[in-house]
Amino acid sequence: MSSPAVAYARQNQPRFLDELKALLRIPSISTLPEHKGDCRHAAEVLAADLSRIGMQNVRLIETGGHPLVYADWLHATGKPTVLVYGHYDVQPPDPLDEWLSPPFEPTERDGNIYARGAVDDKGQVCVQMKALESLLAANGSLPLNVRVILEGEEEVGGEGIAAFVASKAPELKADFALVSDTELFAPGLPTLCVGLRGMIYTELEVRGARTDLHSGMYGGAAPNPFIALAQILARLKDEEGHILIPGFYDDIIPPSPEELAAWRSLPFDEEHYRITEVGSRQLVGEGGFSVLERTWARPTVDVHGIPGGFTGAGAKTVIPAKAVAKVSMRLVPGMTPAKSFALYKSYVERIAPAGVDIEVRLIHSGDPCLIPVDNPYIQAATLALHEVWGKETVFIRSGGSIPIVGDFARHLGLPSVMMGFGLPDDNLHAPNEKFHLKNFELGIESVIRFLEEVGR
Amino acid sequence: MSSPAVAYARQNQPRFLDELKALLRIPSISTLPEHKGDCRHAAEVLAADLSRIGMQNVRLIETGGHPLVYADWLHATGKPTVLVYGHYDVQPPDPLDEWLSPPFEPTERDGNIYARGAVDDKGQVCVQMKALESLLAANGSLPLNVRVILEGEEEVGGEGIAAFVASKAPELKADFALVSDTELFAPGLPTLCVGLRGMIYTELEVRGARTDLHSGMYGGAAPNPFIALAQILARLKDEEGHILIPGFYDDIIPPSPEELAAWRSLPFDEEHYRITEVGSRQLVGEGGFSVLERTWARPTVDVHGIPGGFTGAGAKTVIPAKAVAKVSMRLVPGMTPAKSFALYKSYVERIAPAGVDIEVRLIHSGDPCLIPVDNPYIQAATLALHEVWGKETVFIRSGGSIPIVGDFARHLGLPSVMMGFGLPDDNLHAPNEKFHLKNFELGIESVIRFLEEVGR
């Protein structure tokens, strides 16, 4: 099917890329207070762009944290309304010394653009924005009603948009959501994501002595909170990778035999994945489950860092008064953050070694979710993707968490179409994050054709 | 016995204190490269002071790191020669927010002076310097031959002075050493330290994936180096505090029954110590040994910090590529750093969990040592202390490590007199480090009278 919007997108691709680069230069790191102004600046740039392309009612919506960006175009009478969602905030770039080019100076190499946020999620937000621009510029109108809502706190728990969604704000009234924050299962393979893990992110603080002590004077008598913490963390999983928190697995709803069969037919080789993506001596995790099951349909425990104590160069002979572990758990359908956190907290309190006090804090959480695949939006997406990519769409899950998808379902009754264009080796949250330029182009065409199909 | 030098010291006490404060204002933190200039500045200030009071051949001796300060006065024909040792470097002051007054702005409160280095070791170096000044000013000469050697790397392993001592440099030719870097067993109780623990300070690095990975995408398949590290650290000690490294205890020479009996008669209450010094819920350590045995005569394992990963505020969902634990072990007589490190390394390599690579690095080490108490210098010290403090001297050990004492014995054949004036609650290596002003005064008088006794 010939589409003037697709033709417009192809003609304007170099400018689109320049505009993506401008957005990538803004270090909108939501977790670091010193980048608060950059987050607002990114929101303002996106709002200005939405106005320029012809979206209406463009504005920033203030939250307790970084602002939301809102826009709409509601003149397609009788057509469905899509809620287009993305996020403009990014992860911190550390460790900086492992980047081959500076994280906030987007650089093209080997058909990719490298920068923090290239794929997660500024590149994919740009895919959405450029699709809307192409449709408006080529046709003077959109094929369906569109609301855009962009947030700046996805990487830190999304409190602001969660509250906004929970309030059932009229700005969010729609028939379905388009969420572009996921990836293709393999290069060139059109993919829709239909399941996400949830998560709880916690801090586990262990306190020993009242103040830091000299390890010579007091070693052998004063409790060492790092050793106590290690003793606790070592008891979260057994040597086969099974989580030892009592009851943690009880409520899991396993994938259906059909879904498991479909996963087995995906082009996936565990050894190739180990070598090319993970690069570790061997893979780990629960025995008896494939890698796709372990990363899509099984819960996890991970430790992200252990602040406190002496971390400088050289030697300081101190028994620190306290240690903190940043611990998160991925949750799968059937599990809830509240129950999972309660089980974790009570287990950790029970196994804490003698001599120390512990405190367990919940930093943020998100529900796991499963998307039904029998709705017209998923079907339109499948059709559009087939046309642009020339292949059948595969349905996968993601091990990551996009809490907003659960919120859209629970509070607004919206099904989400998770159509994303990242690749498995795009270094999400890591040094040398990238976005494949071809996927940027075909992503824009896919979204154009998807919206056209839904509006037909 | 009336001493003009003691009278001089009493008259000049206010100026002595001002000069100590000036030295404490110099942030000579040896472990932090950005304070290299401050370390040299502290050395220069001390050298200038040694010249001013009449010491000779004053100079800085360059090492691979921070310089040594040397001075001598060798005109007491026929008298013994003392090698006076101290260190001008200090520990980092973090955590800064727990200091009640700034660490490098010495502040008097409640009869103490608070500052980083107040007791460890600038205050005690000043005790030595002011004793020499008082003797020279009151008598125009010293009662014995004196060499002074001050180092600036005690807190980072003392490589420079260790090499200088190992070279048997002629500047170190002496009959005994006076080391003032220890404490009184209790307020007002004159104390000589006759045993020190040794140590090895190590880094244990654990590497999993090639690069940092997103914990959503890869959680359940990629090894988590922090969890692997916790599993290793948790297996260094059992729940009763026994070190699990095979062979680690094999070579220990236990204290004699007489020494153990003397320790039992010391004024020491474990519960009072727990509450006032440690402030933890309970004390820990090997069952079957008293606190004094555990801290003076038993080896330890402590973890000082776990750099790597995400340690900022908020949440970053990363599986870090690597984690590092700073781990040290205190050693007791009979043990050697080389064998202890080899046993530790081989054990850790054996218990490392699947999926990760590990590397064990030795950062620095020091031998444990025991001082014979039947020499004339210890006897002169006992006499001088009795006169100044009015009580019998107690002989204790220290759980800390002063590697130079072992080096003096091994390379130069020098017995050390460890005469120090700190107190157990002086917050060595911790926030709010202090030195009791009365101990500063009586310390100076003690050293004056000790040197006079040796020279008699």
Contact B215 A314 (CB under 8 A): no
Residue B212 and residue B69 share a domain: no
pLDDT for B425 equals 86
Contact B305 A301 (CB under 8 A): no
Residue A343 and residue A203 share a domain: yes
Identified catalytic residue from A89, A181, A205, A426: A89
Contact B31 A95 (CB under 8 A): no
pLDDT category at B316 given cuts 50, 70, 90 is: confident
| Share of residues in chain B with pLDDT > 90 (%) | 88
Q: How would you classify the pairing of strands B112-114 and B434-436?
A: antiparallel
User: Cβ contacts (< 8 Å) between A218 and chain B: which residues?
Assistant: 277-278, 295, 399
Reading the block at residue A174, the tokens are: 């729609």
Determine, yes or no, domain membership for B281: no
Task: Report in angstroms the alpha-carbon separations of A44 from A129, A155, A175, A451.
Answer: 14, 19, 27, 25
Reading the block at residue A97, the tokens are: 């010394």
Query: Least CB-CB distance to A298: which of B220, B229, B330?
Result: B220
Distance from CA of A84 to the nearest CA of B (A): 23
Reading the block at residue B6, the tokens are: 């003691």
B85-97: average pLDDT: 95
Contact A304 B215 (CB under 8 A): yes
Q: What is the DSSP string of B67-124?
A: PEEEEEE---TTS-EEEEEEE--B----SGGG-SS-TTS-EEETTEEESTTTTTTHHH
Residue A223 and residue A150 share a domain: no
CA–CA gap between residue B107 and residue B21 (Å, rounded): 8
CATH number of the domain enclosing A237: 3.30.70.360
pLDDT for B8 equals 98
Residue A78 and residue A27 share a domain: yes
Residue A66 and residue A124 share a domain: yes
Query: Chain A: residue nearest B235 by CA?
Result: A231
Identified catalytic residue from B38, B72, B89, B433: B89
Mind listing the pLDDT tens digit for each residue in B161-176? 999 999 999 999 999 9
Q: What is the DSSP string of B153-218?
A: -GGGT-HHHHHHHHTT-GGG--SEEEE---B-SSTT--EEEEEE-EEEEEEEEEE-SSS-EEHHHH
Domain boundaries, position B232: 198-252+299-366
Is the pLDDT confidence value at B191 over 90?
A: yes
Query: Least CB-CB distance to B309: which of A211, A217, A304?
Result: A304
Query: Least CB-CB distance to A220: which of B217, B300, B354?
Result: B300
Determine, yes or no, domain membership for A117: yes
Contact B399 A236 (CB under 8 A): no
Using the 3D structure, point to which of A325, A346, A366 is the last residue of a domain. Answer: A366
Please count the residue pairs, one from chain A and one from chain B, whose beta carbons lie less than 8 angstroms apart.
361
Determine, yes or no, domain membership for B149: yes
Whole-number average pLDDT of chain A: 95
Residues 190-229 of B with CB under 8 A from A: 197, 199, 201, 208-224, 226-227, 229
Is the pLDDT confidence value at A312 over 90?
A: no
* Residue among A131, A86, A42 nearest A441 (CA): A131
B389-411: average pLDDT: 91
Residue A212 and residue A185 share a domain: no
* Residue among B235, B281, B227 nearest A304 (CA): B227
Distance from CA of B323 to the nearest CA of A (A): 8
User: Cβ contacts (< 8 Å) between A93 and chain B: which residues?
Assistant: none
Residue A206 and residue A350 share a domain: yes
A409-435: average pLDDT: 93
Cβ atoms within 10 A of the Cβ of B183, count?
24
pLDDT for B125 equals 98
Contact A215 B300 (CB under 8 A): yes
The better pLDDT of the pair A316, A344 is held by A344
Is the pLDDT confidence value at A1 over 70?
A: no
Q: Which of B318, B369, B396, B427 to mutate against chain A (most A CBs within 10 Å)? A: B318
Residue B139, class by beta-carbon neighbours within 10 Å (0-12 exposed, 13-18 middle, 19+ buried)?
middle
A285-306: average pLDDT: 96
* Residue among B366, B414, B358, B421 nearest B389 (CA): B421
CA–CA gap between residue B285 and residue A329 (Å, rounded): 32
Q: Give chain A's domain count.
A: 2
Using the 3D structure, point to which of B321, B336, B366 is the last residue of a domain. Answer: B366
Contact criterion met (CB below 8 Å) for B216 and B316: no
Mind listing the pLDDT tens digit for each residue in A167-212? 999 999 999 999 999 999 999 999 999 999 999 999 999 999 999 9
pLDDT for B389 equals 97
Residue B348 and residue B412 share a domain: no
Mind listing the pLDDT tens digit for each residue in B4-47? 999 999 999 999 999 999 999 999 999 999 999 999 999 999 99
Distance from CA of A358 to the nearest CA of B (A): 11
Reading the block at residue A368, the tokens are: 């796991």
Determine, yes or no, domain membership for A257: no
Of A82-91, A137-146, B277-286, which gets the smallest average pLDDT? Answer: B277-286
User: Cβ contacts (< 8 Å) between A214 and chain B: which residues?
Assistant: 400, 428-430
User: Cβ contacts (< 8 Å) between B311 and chain A: which residues?
Assistant: 305-307, 311, 326
Is the pLDDT confidence value at B158 over 90?
A: no
The DSSP element (H or E) to which B415 belongs, if any, is none
Distance from CA of B448 to the nearest CA of A (A): 28
Is the pLDDT confidence value at B275 over 90?
A: yes
CA–CA gap between residue A436 and residue A218 (Å, rounded): 55
User: Cβ contacts (< 8 Å) between B304 and chain A: which residues?
Assistant: 215, 226, 309-310, 315-320
Determine, yes or no, domain membership for A308: yes
pLDDT for A360 equals 98
CA–CA gap between residue B49 and residue B39 (Å, rounded): 16
Determine, yes or no, domain membership for A407: yes
Whether the full predicted model's pTM is greater than 0.90, yes or no, is no
pLDDT for B1 equals 58
B143 close to A (CB below 8 A)? no
Which residues face A418 on adjacent strands? Answer: A179, A193
Is the pLDDT confidence value at A68 over 70?
A: yes
CATH number of the domain enclosing A149: 3.40.630.10
The amino acid present at B339, given as its one-letter code, is: K
pLDDT for B373 equals 83
- ipTM here: 0.81
Angle between helices A4-11 and A122-139 (to 10 degrees): 120
Contact A326 B306 (CB under 8 A): no
* Residue among A81, A64, A284, A237 nearest A173 (CA): A81
Mind listing the pLDDT tens digit for each residue in B329-346? 999 999 999 999 999 999
Q: Which of B182, B280, B294 to mutate against chain A (most A CBs within 10 Å)? A: B280
Is the pLDDT confidence value at B86 over 70?
A: yes
Distance from CA of A253 to the nearest CA of B (A): 17
| Share of residues in chain A with pLDDT > 70 (%) | 100
Cβ atoms within 10 A of the Cβ of B338, count?
12
Reading the block at residue A15, the tokens are: 């400018």
Using the 3D structure, point to which of B332, B366, B400 is the last residue of a domain. Answer: B366
Residues 158-177 of B with CB under 8 A from A: none
Residue A430 and residue A380 share a domain: yes
Contact B330 A294 (CB under 8 A): no
Distance from CA of B52 to the nearest CA of A (A): 34
Coil vs helix vs strand at A261: helix
pLDDT for B372 equals 83
Q: Which of A227, A361, A396, A401 to mutate against chain B (most B CBs within 10 Å)? A: A227
B271-275: average pLDDT: 95
Query: Least CB-CB distance to B400: which of A217, A235, A285?
Result: A217
pLDDT for B206 equals 98
User: Cβ contacts (< 8 Å) between B279 and chain A: which residues?
Assistant: 209-211
Task: Report in angstroms the alpha-carbon separations of B209 from A101, A428, B71, B206.
Answer: 21, 14, 54, 10
Residues 346-365 of A with CB under 8 A from B: 353-357, 363-364
The DSSP element (H or E) to which B437 belongs, if any, is helix B437-455
Q: Does the annotation mark A154 as catalytic?
A: yes
Determine, yes or no, domain membership for B257: no
Residue A412 and residue A351 share a domain: no
Determine, yes or no, domain membership for B269: no
Residue B326 and residue B243 share a domain: yes
Phi, psi dihedrals of residue B326, rounded to the nearest 5°: -90, 110
Residue B190 and residue B312 share a domain: no
Query: Least CB-CB distance to B227: which of A220, A233, A431?
Result: A233
Q: Does the annotation mark A133 as catalytic?
A: no
Alpha-carbon Rg for chain B, nearest whole angstrom, is 23
pLDDT category at A158 given cuts 50, 70, 90 is: confident
DSSP state of A67: P
pLDDT category at B374 given cuts 50, 70, 90 is: confident
- Length of chain A measured in residues: 456
